Amino acid sequence: MADHLSPDLPRESGTTNRIWLWVWLGALVLGVSVALWFYRDELWRILDVIRHASPTGTLLAVACETGFLLTYWDLVGRLYRAAGTPVPRGALFRLLLVSGVVDRLLPTAGTSTIAVLAVAGARWGVTWASTLWMMGLFTSLGLVATLLIVALSVVLLSTFDIPLPPSIHQALLVGRWAAIGGVVLGAGFLWTPVRRRAVRRIVHWIGGLIHWWKAHEPAWWKRWRARRGHRMSTGAPNPGATGLLGEISPARATSAPPSSEAPRRRRRIWDPEERFRAFEATWERIRREPGLWGAALAENLLLYVLRIGTLAAFISALHISLPWHHLIAGYGLVVLLVNLSALPFSLGIFEVSMAALYHWLGVPWPQSWALTLAYRGITFWLPIPLGLLAMVRWPGQPPSPGPRPCRNAGETSEQ
């Protein structure tokens, strides 16, 4: 089928996507450059504050962030093991770094993390069911930890009578009702009839979306799929995957040498009932895991404690005078505002909220922005080059093992 389409195929697949990617990156760089030019005097003052930072406090912040990454790594691995798809620890660390790059550069609010973990982790038996349940549990327990941090902030605000603008008090009121609604929805979802009905509707909705896509596939997607099918049938390597995820790319893992006896991959079809059974089997396995909920919630709380430790270390390093209750209350308010925003992980919302809140709490603007840039630099921007390095195959690194059999009942290992 790919042979008679070859005259109409472009010389390089994905050219349009690469053009749009460069356009988006160029617009981002241009916008940031224009903003920095107009605020260059304030930027120099902020950089001067960072330049005089204490090395001891900076090293303490790096230690706290290292502990955060290790705790996050252990938590995700724990949830994957509970879901029945244990991923090698080294491979999981690389997958988390790669998914973090995509999730930071695109305002996808975590959906790109799910896609990267499920697709790139397929060679180790990672399935969509295990990834979705893992992210669902991670998000749910993280929401509980967030509510505890926000509740602590509210207690500190009322106890120490911390002055804040009226808009923050309105956000606290909205957050209070959102927390009550989240608890009610979470409790209802844990009830078996509600959960089964919700999961069944979700998988049927996804199946309908896939069938709609199959009926309205654009021409460029059909050409790319035909080209990829031709490469896989002849055993040719996939240049689009080479160098993106290194040896963890599923396309490279499934490519076989040209042979008449090489088995053909069965076409993946989204069967809603089959997926529903896989989701239920994964949930039953997670539910029976002893000690999972307490350990996962404790690690989620530890993530917040380590982030507050990173913030406190930078406050000490930048010679900022701020009471401890102002520090914790400000961080809880930032978390609340970011979670109430439409795109929790989009660029700019966290930075502006954090700088403004700590300025309202008594920190001068240059020091407030210096604190924000230092904190976001180590927690948000530093993992990007680490993830880009993780996409490259390390020199002399042995090849990874082949795909493992899927351990989830009712779901094939072809994902």
N- to C-terminal Cα separation, the chain: 23
Please report the pLDDT score of residue 17 as a whole number.
Answer: 59
139-to-35, 143, 333, 337, 383 alpha-carbon distances in Å = 34, 6, 19, 17, 20
- pLDDT at residue number 284: 86
Q: Give a yes or no: residue 309 inside a domain.
A: yes
Instruction: Establish if 321 belongs to a structural domain.
Output: yes
The answer as to whether 279 is a domain residue is yes
Q: Which residue has the tokens 């039953």?
A: 284
pLDDT tens over the chain, length 415 residues: 444 444 444 444 455 656 776 787 788 788 878 877 887 888 888 888 888 889 999 999 999 999 999 999 999 999 999 888 888 888 888 888 888 777 777 665 566 677 778 777 777 778 878 888 888 788 778 888 888 888 888 888 888 888 777 777 777 777 777 777 777 777 777 777 888 888 888 888 878 887 888 888 888 778 877 876 666 566 554 444 433 333 444 444 444 444 444 445 455 556 888 888 888 888 888 888 888 989 999 999 999 999 999 999 999 999 999 999 999 988 988 888 777 665 544 567 778 888 988 998 889 999 999 999 999 889 888 888 888 787 765 443 444 444 444 444 444 433 3
HSE, CB side, 13 Å, CA atoms: give it for residue 311: 25
**Which pLDDT score, from 0 to 100, does residue 141 have?**
83
The DSSP-derived string for 98-116 is HHHHHHHHS--TTHHHHHH
The vertex-395 CA angle with 390 and 398, nearest 5°, equals 90
122 secondary structure, DSSP code: G
Angstrom distance (rounded) from CA 196 to CA 189: 9
Assigned domain for 17 exists: no
Domain assignment present for 69: yes
pLDDT at 314: 95
Helix 324-340 and helix 292-317, axial crossing angle in degrees, nearest 10: 120
CA distance 171 to 198: 30
Containing structural domain, residue 117: 53-252+268-390
User: H helices of 216-291, where?
Assistant: 219-234, 250-254, 272-287
Cα dist. 46→41, 57, 327, 336, 361 in Å?
9, 17, 20, 26, 18
C-alpha to C-alpha distance for 313 and 341, rounded to whole angstroms: 27
CB atoms within 10 A of CB 39: 13
Into how many domains does the chain fold?
1
**Which pLDDT value is given to residue 248?**
41
Cβ-contact 317, 53 below 8 angstroms = yes
In a domain, 35, yes or no: no
User: Residue 410: which region, alpha, beta or left (left: phi > 0; alpha: psi -120 to 50)?
Assistant: left
The pLDDT of residue 254 is 45
Domain-embedded: residue 216: yes
The phi and psi torsions of 336 (rounded to 5 degrees) equal -65, -50
CA distance 222 to 16: 14
Inter-residue contact 172 to 336 (CB < 8 Å): yes
* Residue 246 one-letter amino acid: G
Q: Is residue 288 part of a domain?
A: yes
Q: How far is residue 320 CA from its own chain's centroid?
A: 31
- Rounded to whole angstroms, the Cα distance separating 304 from 311 reads 11
Query: Hey, what's the torsion of the CAs at 336, 310, 28, 99, to 10 degrees?
Result: -90
What count of residues does the chain have? 415
Cβ-contact 102, 244 below 8 angstroms: no
CB count within 10 Å of CB 157 equals 21
Q: What is the model's pLDDT at position 341? A: 60
| H helix or E strand, kind and range, residue 288 | none
